[in-house]
Every structure is written in structure tokens, then in C-alpha cells.
Structure 1
Amino acid sequence: MASPQPANTGSDGDLKYANLDERKRKRMLSNRESARRSRAKKQQRLDELLGEINQLQNDNNKIMQKIDGATQVFVGAASQNNVLRAQLTELADRLHSLNSVLHIAQEVSGLSVDIPELPDTLLEPWKLPCPIQPITASFNMNMF
């Protein structure tokens, strides 16, 4: 009669091990599924970040194009300003020469001639007493 107990104990042990193995197998499957979800979530986040990088690079390129356009407008305005300054200097020199000729003619003829002097404010426009006229935007400036 001693032999039935070891058989029962053995079968009980097999059931315990079978239950243990089944729990271990379920846990392993659960861990695998969890790891798969984690990898999928990481991949989705990576894809989102890559998309954000692309969007930021596109935005950066657009801003750089706007900066380049503004720089070209500035360079054009500075160049035109330099031309206008040179013209102002030339015209001021001409006016001084003409005034000198008028002074000589006045002395020689003895007639009184009204000779206007070149105002300093013409050579220094930032000191003009008159109100500043508004600057109207051109078509090219509206692109910003």
C-alpha cells in the first residue's frame, strides 16, 4: 500500500510543475507581448520625432529664404542710398560752383543778385525741420 502514495505524490508534483510551467509560459507570452507593444510605441514616437524634424527643417528653410530676400532688399536699398548720396554730393558741388559764378558776376556787374545758399539740412537730411513723409511699401516688400 505504500506504492499508491508515491504515485499520487508524483502526479500531484507533475500537476504542480505543469501549473508552474503553464504560468511561466503565460508570463513569457505576456512579457513578449508587452515588449512588442513597447517596441511599437518607441517606433511610433521615433516616426513622430522624424516628422517633426522634417517640419522644422522645412520651416527653417522658409525662414532662411525670407532672410535672403530681406538681405537682397537691404543690399538694394543700401546701394541705391549710396547712389543718391553721391548724386547729392555732386549736385551740392555744382550748386556751390554756380553760386561762386553768381558771386563773381554780381561783383563784376554791380547788380544785386539773390544767391541762395545750400542749406546744411540738405547735406544732413536727418536734421530736416519738415515732417518726414511716410514711406510707402513697394510690391517686393510685401513678400514678407
Structure 2
Amino acid sequence: MASAQGSASSSDSDPRSVNIDERKRKRMLSNRESARRSRMRKQKQLEDLAEEASALQKGNSQISEKINVTTQRYVEMQSANSVLRAQAMELTERLRSLNSVLHIAEEVSGHDIDIPEVPDPLLKPWQLHCPIQPIMTSVDNFEC
């Protein structure tokens, strides 16, 4: 047993083993510090990703709300267009009826009457001409 103690005490005093122990201790400290920095980087990345996810969710909510508002306005415009198409068809039929009366009056009177042609509003609606009432809109109809 004395030799085991002797060898233990001789290794404590051996400069090479002290050097190796010191290097091990420094390496362990360095590894701990490196692991600490790595944990901090991961934590920072996690926080950054959480912030980015939150910002993206907020952006998605805003886009979704704009889509809902735009869809609602589209439905309203589509409804208004349907009403206008029905009114245009009704007015076209009235004009045709009045033209028929003019044709009869022309035949009965024997005088030539300038009878305008009635366009079909659904075939070429962009060619309808109405000099009395210009089509007007506001910028508000086009904003989201």
C-alpha cells in the first residue's frame, strides 16, 4: 500500500501530469463555455423565429382581412352590376317598344321618321352611348 501512496504522491509532484491536468481543466472550461454560447445562440434563434412567426401571423391576418373586405366589395359590385344589367335590359325593351310605335306612326302618317337602332346592351355593353347621363364613379370604389 505504501507503494500505491508513493506512486500517487509522485504523480502529483510530476510536472508532466500537472501539465496534463491543467490542459484537461482548461479544455473542460473551454467546452463548458462553448456549450453555454451554443445554448445562448439556440435560444436567440428560437426567440428570433418566434418573433418572425408572430410577424408572419399578423401579416397573414391583415391579408386575410383585406381579402374578406375585397370579397365583400366584389359581391356588392356584382349585385349592383346585376341590377344595372336588368335595368339596361328593361330600358332596351322599352326602346324597342317605342320604336315599334314609331314604325306604326311612320306607316300611318306616311312621313319618314328617323328611328334610331336599339343596340343589344348585353352583346357590346362598352358601345352603349348615353349622352344625357355620363357614367361617374369615385376613387372610393377602387380602394381596398
TM more than 0.5: yes
In 2, Cα distance between the equivalents of 1:73 and 1:140? Answer: 9
In 1, Cα distance between the equivalents of 2:87 and 2:113? Answer: 27
**Partners of 1:102 and 1:115 within 8 A in 2:** yes
Q: What is the CA deviation profile of residues 1-51 of structure 1, one whole-angstrom value per residue up to 9, with x for unaligned ones? A: xxxxxx6x8655223434433332232122112101110111101100110
Q: Cα 1:61–1:120, aligned 2, differ >3 Å: closer, same or farther?
A: same
**Partners of 1:102 and 1:113 within 8 A in 2:** yes
Structure 2 spans left out of the alignment, 5+ residues: 1-5
Q: What is the CA deviation profile of residues 101-134 of structure 1, one whole-angstrom value per residue up to 9, with x for unaligned ones? A: 222233334454443331457852334689xx89
Give the secondary-structure state (helix, strand or coil) at the position aligned to 1:117: coil
Aligned to 2:13: 15
Give the 5 Å matches for 1:1-144: 11-16=9-14, 17-119=17-119, 124-127=124-127, 136-139=137-140, 141-142=142-143, 144=144
Q: Percent identity over the alignment?
A: 55
In 2, Cα distance between the equivalents of 1:102 and 1:30? Answer: 104
Moved more, 66-75 or 20-29: 20-29
Q: Cα 1:100–1:62, aligned 2, differ >3 Å: closer, same or farther?
A: same
Q: In structure 2, give the amino acid aligned to 1:63.
A: I
Which aligned segments of 4 or more residues in structure 1 are displaced greater than 6 angstroms? Answer: none
Tell me the C-alpha RMSD between the 2 structures.
3.1
**Partners of 1:99 and 1:115 within 8 A in 2:** yes
Q: Cα 1:122–1:38, aligned 2, differ >3 Å: closer, same or farther?
A: closer
**Partners of 1:122 and 1:128 within 8 A in 2:** no
Q: What is the number of residues matched between the two proteins?
A: 134
**Offset of 1:96 from its aligned partner?**
0.7
Q: Cα 1:89–1:67, aligned 2, differ >3 Å: closer, same or farther?
A: same
In 1, Cα distance between the equivalents of 2:10 and 2:142? Answer: 89
Give the secondary-structure state (helix, strand or coil) at the position aligned to 1:118: coil
